[in-house]
Structure 1
Amino acid sequence: EDSISAMGRFTSVFLSCLSFLLFVVLLPHVSSRPAAVPARRSIVGETCNQIARGDPNVDFTFCSQSLRSAAGSDGADLHGLAIISLKLAVANATSAATRAKALLKGNGLSRYYKSCLNACRDVYADAASDLRDATGMIRSGRLVDARVYISAAVDAPVVCEDGSQEGGLASPLAEEDGDLTQLAVIALAIAVRLG
């Protein structure tokens, strides 16, 4: 019995030591995992902070909320954020072109107002196409070309607004104009940071 009792105590002490050793060895790895997730998430905040500080056309809250609203942004790297920002800008430009087309169906529109809506529809459709092309260019590593196409899309809201203002009218797509300006500038700034 003494040898069985001694063996039991030895086993108990051995298991306690082994458990402690595993705890000490694994603790740094377990405690570092939660820190890795916030570090990944912070890329959105860091990126938006840099962009908003560098461009008065970009609001930090708009940038961070827009990027964080997109699937995959939590774990994205800078390349992923570039793709996400371009997809958001494409969706905005496409929606604006569709809205301009719908507004054209309204009754009693002046000839000038219709010409403004047609111009807005066309520049937003072109911007959506340019942004789609830029997405493919980013994916294939053609960063300089992508920046040229994104820059062209940045001008679309200006063209839409200028046409309306020249005729003394408010832009029929004022909200879309502001959103696309910010989304395209965000995409451009991220593309510049890629290299």
Structure 2
Amino acid sequence: MNPPPFLLPSLLLLLAAAAAAPHLAGADTLHETCNFLGGDYINYDYCVSTLSSDPAIATADNHGLAVISINLTATNATALRSRADGLAQADPDSFVRAQLRNCSALYAAALPDIRKSADAAADRNYGGATEMLAGVLRVPAGCDEAFKSREGVVSPIRRENDEFSDLASLAKAVNNYMSR
């Protein structure tokens, strides 16, 4: 007995829809979470664009969003530490060099806390992750503050510090949302 001719195209359509479902679920989760956070202090567009930069977002549930947000923060802190080191080596001003080394040390000291935060989120201890991230959020201000001790000197990584602060705030907000 031969199957009806419409059965094969219907089956293929059903399989295609099933394959797309995780992507849609990840997108729905992302938009729902960012919409919720957008009501507070996290910009919706920033939330969506930042978290969407990780390909794992396509199939992520809320737990995945919590972990992804911290991983993005860790990657940024590592890059910022390296940038501060590189600028310190190249700057002719000994004061600026010293402050950049201080910034590098602050970010280096924050990395273990960011990793602990990631471990806590992976274990679904979102409250613990949030607490660790709260401490990490002091790093950019500490870095920028060191430059203010000399009049007219501005941190050459101020913009990057602001970006890190935004990322860490997003990670904290996502994990705080999950802890409720």
Q: TM-score range by the shorter chain?
A: 0.7 to 0.9
Larger Rg: 1
Which of 109, 118, 123 aligns to 1:126? It is 109
Which of 5, 10, 27 aligns to 1:41? It is 27
Deviation at 1:32, TM superposition (A): 7.1
Deviation at 1:30, TM superposition (A): 7.2
Q: Report what 1:135 is aligned to.
A: 118
Length-normalised TM-score, structure 2: 0.82
Amino acid at match of 1:139: A
Q: Report what 2:67 is aligned to.
A: 83
Deviation at 1:19, TM superposition (A): 4.6
Which of 174, 177, 180 aligns to 1:193? It is 177
Tell whether 2:54 aligns with 1:50: no
Identity %: 26
What are the ranges of 5 or more consecutive residues in structure 1 without an aligned counterpart? 1-10
| Paired residue total | 176
Q: Report what 1:151 is aligned to.
A: 134
How far, CA to CA, are the matches of 1:97 and 1:155 in structure 2? 15
How far, CA to CA, are the matches of 1:61 and 1:125 in structure 2? 29
Which of 92, 115, 120 aligns to 1:108? It is 92
How far, CA to CA, are the matches of 2:94 and 2:15 in structure 1? 67
Length-normalised TM-score, structure 1: 0.76
What are the ranges of 5 or more consecutive residues in structure 2 without an aligned counterpart? none
Moved more, 38-47 or 78-87: 38-47
How far, CA to CA, are the matches of 1:90 and 1:35 in structure 2? 30
Change (3 A) 1:148 1:38: same
Q: Is the 8 A contact 1:89 1:128 kept in 2?
A: no
How far, CA to CA, are the matches of 1:43 and 1:158 in structure 2? 32
How far, CA to CA, are the matches of 2:91 and 2:177 in structure 1? 47
Secondary structure of the 2:148 match is helix
Query: RMSD across aligned C-alpha pairs, in angstroms?
Result: 2.7
How far, CA to CA, are the matches of 2:102 and 2:135 in structure 1? 15
Deviations 1:89-122 (A, max 9, x none): 00100111111111111242132x2232122111
How far, CA to CA, are the matches of 2:33 and 2:22 in structure 1? 17
Q: Report what 1:60 is aligned to.
A: 44
How far, CA to CA, are the matches of 1:164 and 1:40 in structure 2? 42
Q: Is the 8 A contact 2:82 2:104 kept in 1?
A: yes
Q: Is the 8 A contact 2:26 2:57 kept in 1?
A: no
Amino acid at match of 2:164: L
Q: Is the 8 A contact 1:94 1:125 kept in 2?
A: yes
Amino acid at match of 2:24: P
Deviations 1:106-159 (A, max 9, x none): 242132x22321221111112222111111111123333221111111111111
